[in-house]
């Protein structure tokens, strides 16, 4: 596939780019600072673009089969990086007829029956207070994506670690994963690339955890 990855120089984005190239995909990595992407491959093209540069984003998306957003907030202050960034990505996708979109969100702001009592009543309420701004931005992003006509998948990981790729991460469609407290960025990237071509994952939120 021909894939464009946004947030490609972040710790999750770098894993997505590296694994996608290893799997033989043709990858366009969109970054603000190319020097932060310490990875090179014959299948990789690096594009420098700000999220408010509509022309650069459109050029990065044109002719691609799919787009992946690994955008995420930095720090705990007010932010719109995820919602504004994905809105710009979707505008470019519509303009160029690209339909497949996978975005990384989080499971911490979602509570359901799969969460144990400790997680439901203590852990997640605490996370929602501490990470309120980032969660609000990701919630807006999810709302925009889910209201779109695109072939979308929202991936919801818990706390991310720098562990190895095991290929054993669990997934749950439309619900949280019981006991799913962490997942490595490498395993998250592995599941993102799997879900990219999984027809059952379209129009669904998918929890991913170790």
Digit-coded pLDDT (tens) for 114-150: 999 989 999 999 999 999 999 999 999 999 999 999 9
Task: Name the packing angle between helices 132-146 and 81-96 (round to 10°).
Answer: 20
Q: What is the mean pLDDT of residues 16-45?
A: 95
In the predicted model, what is the mean pLDDT of the chain? Answer: 96
For residue 1, pLDDT over 90 is answered with yes
DSSP classification of residue 209: E
Quote the pTM value.
0.96
As its CATH architecture, domain 2-209 has 3-Layer(aba) Sandwich (3.40)
For residue 100, pLDDT over 90 is answered with yes
Separation CA 127–CA 163 (nearest Å): 22
pLDDT score at 74: 84
- Cβ–Cβ under 8 Å, residues 147 and 154: no
């Amino acid at each position: 596939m021909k894939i464009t990855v946004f947030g490609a120089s972040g710790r999750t984005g770098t894993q997505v780019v590296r694994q996608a190239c290893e799997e033989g995909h043709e990858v366009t990595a969109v970054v603000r600072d190319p020097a932060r992407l310490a990875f090179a491959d014959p299948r990789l093209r690096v594009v420098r673009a700000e999220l408010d540069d509509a022309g650069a984003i459109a050029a990065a998306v044109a002719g691609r089969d799919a787009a992946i957003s690994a955008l995420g907030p930095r720090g705990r202050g007010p932010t719109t990086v995820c919602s504004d960034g994905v809105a710009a990505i979707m505008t470019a996708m519509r303009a160029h007829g690209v339909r497949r979109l996978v975005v990384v969100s989080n499971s911490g702001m979602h509570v359901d029956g799969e969460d144990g009592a400790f997680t439901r009543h203590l852990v997640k309420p605490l996370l929602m207070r501490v990470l309120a701004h980032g969660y609000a931005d990701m919630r807006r992003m999810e709302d925009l994506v889910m209201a779109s006509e695109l072939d979308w998948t929202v991936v919801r990981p818990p706390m991310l670690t720098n562990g190895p790729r095991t290929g054993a991460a669990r997934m749950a469609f439309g619900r949280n994963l019981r006991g799913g407290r962490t997942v490595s960025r490498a395993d998250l990237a592995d599941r993102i690339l799997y879900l990219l071509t999984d027809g059952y994952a379209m129009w669904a939120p998918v929890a991913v955890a170790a």
